[in-house]
């Protein structure tokens, strides 16, 4: 038997392999709530325009509500033979209310229907991710404020560079996540146009009111071109691009956590909540949550590359290739949501080892730049000359296995005779971070101010 929902043109059933490759109900059932919401808005508009009678519209709406309840409670039986969520909902609606169910699809195609459902689903996903990112930023800003004066080494090239504070380091990620939220907000703004009413690709001859359905579904406006309406998946690509950049940021922090919890660094500890043990080595405490956040970024990147590849060669308008837009998106945004939640958990759980951080902060001649800056300020040396003098002093300290602060005044004066004892006041890591008072710098006062700014913004 052919599919009775669309099979008038067909006299035989599809091959089993055709059914296997064609069916999407195995994943697009996730659209159920969005599909029913869109259908209710559509039938309300049809009734308001006199295209469908009020009695039929009321029956359809009641039937859709029953279908929604059955899906929510797990009573609904999904059929692969009906291909997708749209046909499954409509078939069950027909079981409930009879032939009137067939009026629901007036002035509508599965092309604009799936475009609508997917926009609604992605919009809901963005809203959830936005709230999660805000919560993660809040956790980081709170932890940053608590550790505004906790000195740690700052790195470039994974080599000790200059002392910073743990709070300042965390606020760097707060800034990244703020940009991530901005990208998701931009994607949401651009997707917030309603494709319903574009029908298959050319619009419809029925006197529909697309403004009404757009408003009912909380879109800013209807889409302006019916061909673009059904063939556009920019909103998926843009959302996955934002998700990919966000996943990069989460992965970078995860990598740092993996390093920080090693005995070699020992900068933070994680509790049993976010670590696991080894089946053979009883001493191990593995940062598996961080490692999985780092690893799951690949899923997000893969989904973006997948949809870009699907869309790159498609002529207008709709092609079945576009069915491949969903599974990767579902998986990627679920993975990202899980990673955000795990990262917030780790941030709230981690305990910084402030003494270990501080002792590491002075390693590798991390206050060399402070010495060079002092030579410029106190002695009036051009910075390049001060850089050369400092480099010479670093070489002397390195050869004798000491820090810059351990050099004698005589040793310093052997390189630059005008150096005075005042120089030792800038060679401590605490003095170093306190001196970085330029806007955006690592001084504890700056960190407190920036953390408070973020916490106030996130509370609004």
Phi-psi region of 237 (alpha: psi -120 to 50; beta: other; left: phi over 0): alpha
Query: In this predicted model, what pLDDT tens digit does every residue of 319-378 receive, in sequence order?
Result: 999 988 999 999 999 999 999 999 999 999 999 999 999 999 888 787 888 889 889 999
- Half-sphere exposure at residue 414, Cβ-oriented, CA atoms within 13 angstroms: 10
| pLDDT confidence of residue 24 | 82
Query: In this predicted model, what pLDDT tens digit does every residue of 377-405 receive, in sequence order?
Result: 999 999 999 999 999 999 998 999 888 88
Lowest mean pLDDT segment, chosen from 47-56, 300-309, 316-325: 316-325
| pLDDT confidence of residue 44 | 98
CB atoms within 10 A of CB 350: 20
Model confidence, pTM: 0.90
For 78-104, give the DSSP string.
--GGG-SHHHHHHHHHHHHHGGGGGGG
Q: Which residue has the tokens 């067909």?
A: 10
User: What is the residue-averaged pLDDT of the chain?
Assistant: 92
| pLDDT confidence of residue 145 | 98
| pLDDT confidence of residue 274 | 86
| pLDDT confidence of residue 27 | 86
Lowest mean pLDDT segment, chosen from 6-20, 33-47, 52-66: 6-20
How large a percentage of the chain has pLDDT more than 90?
78
Query: In this predicted model, what pLDDT tens digit does every residue of 101-159 receive, in sequence order?
Result: 999 999 999 999 999 999 999 999 999 999 999 999 999 999 999 999 999 999 989 98
Closest CA to 431 of 122, 110, 165, 125: 165
Give the residue with greater pLDDT, 275 vs 169: 169
Q: Is the dihedral of CA 413, 416, 420, 422 positive or negative?
A: negative
Give the residue with greater pLDDT, 366 vs 263: 263
Q: Which residues are known to be catalytic?
A: 157, 278
| pLDDT confidence of residue 8 | 58
If you average pLDDT over residues 444-450, what whole number do you get? 97
| pLDDT confidence of residue 405 | 85
Residue 22 has pLDDT above 80, yes or no: no
What is d(CA 102, CA 52) in angstroms, rounded to the nearest whole number?
11
| pLDDT confidence of residue 278 | 63
Query: In this predicted model, what pLDDT tens digit does every residue of 276-306 receive, in sequence order?
Result: 766 666 566 889 999 999 999 999 999 999 9
If you average pLDDT over residues 431-458, what whole number do you get? 95
- Half-sphere exposure at residue 261, Cβ-oriented, CA atoms within 13 angstroms: 25
| pLDDT confidence of residue 154 | 92
pLDDT band at 249 (very low <50, low <70, confident <90, very high): very high
Residue 269 has pLDDT above 50, yes or no: yes
Query: In this predicted model, what pLDDT tens digit does every residue of 419-444 receive, in sequence order?
Result: 999 988 888 888 889 989 999 999 99
| pLDDT confidence of residue 2 | 45
């Amino acid at each position: 038997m052919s599919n009775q929902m669309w099979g008038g043109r067909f006299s035989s059933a599809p091959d089993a392999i055709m059914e296997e490759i064609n069916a999407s109900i195995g994943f697009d059932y996730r659209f159920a709530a969005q599909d029913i919401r869109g259908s209710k808005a559509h039938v309300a508009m049809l009734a308001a325009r006199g295209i469908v009678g009020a009695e039929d519209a009321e029956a359809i709406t009641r039937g859709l509500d029953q279908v929604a309840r059955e899906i929510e409670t797990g009573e609904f039986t999904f059929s692969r033979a009906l291909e997708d969520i749209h046909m499954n909902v409509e078939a069950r609606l027909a079981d409930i209310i009879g032939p009137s169910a067939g009026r629901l699809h007036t002035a509508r195609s599965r092309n604009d229907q799936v475009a609508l459902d997917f926009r609604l689903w992605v919009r809901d996903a963005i809203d959830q991710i936005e709230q999660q990112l805000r919560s993660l930023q809040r956790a980081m800003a709170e932890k940053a404020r608590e550790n505004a004066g906790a000195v740690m080494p700052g790195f470039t090239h994974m080599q000790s560079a200059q002392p910073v504070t743990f709070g300042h380091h965390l606020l760097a990620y707060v800034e990244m996540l703020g940009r991530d939220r901005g990208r998701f907000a931009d994607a949401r703004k651009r997707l917030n146009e309603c494709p319903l009413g574009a029908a298959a690709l050319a619009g419809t001859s029925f006197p529909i009111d697309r403004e009404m359905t757009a408003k009912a579904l909380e879109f800013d406006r209807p889409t302006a071109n019916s061909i673009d309406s059904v063939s556009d998946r920019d909103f998926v690509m843009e959302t996955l691009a934002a998700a990919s950049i966000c996943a990069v940021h989460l992965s970078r922090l995860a990598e740092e956590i993996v390093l920080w919890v090693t005995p070699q660094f020992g900068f933070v500890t994680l509790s049993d909540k976010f670590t696991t043990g080894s089946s053979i080595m009883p001493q191990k405490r593995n940062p598996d949550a961080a490692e999985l956040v780092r690893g799951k970024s690949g899923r997000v990147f893969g989904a973006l590359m997948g949809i870009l590849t699907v869309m790159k060669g498609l002529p207008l308008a709709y092609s079945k290739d576009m069915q491949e837009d969903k599974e990767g998106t579902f998986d990627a945004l679920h993975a990202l949501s899980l990673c955000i939640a795990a990262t917030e958990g780790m941030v709230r759980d981690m305990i910084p080892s402030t003494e270990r951080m501080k002792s590491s902060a002075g390693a590798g001649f991390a206050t060399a730049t402070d010495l060079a800056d002092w030579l410029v300020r106190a002695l009036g040396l051009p910075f390049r000359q001060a850089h050369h003098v400092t480099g010479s002093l670093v070489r002397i300290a390195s050869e004798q296995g000491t820090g810059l602060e351990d050099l004698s005044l005589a040793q310093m004066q052997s390189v630059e005779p005008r150096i005075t004892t005042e120089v030792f006041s800038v060679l401590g890591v605490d003095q170093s971070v306190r001196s970085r008072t330029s806007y955006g710098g690592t001084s504890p006062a700056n960190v407190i101010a920036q953390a408070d700014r973020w916490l106030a913004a996130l509370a609004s």
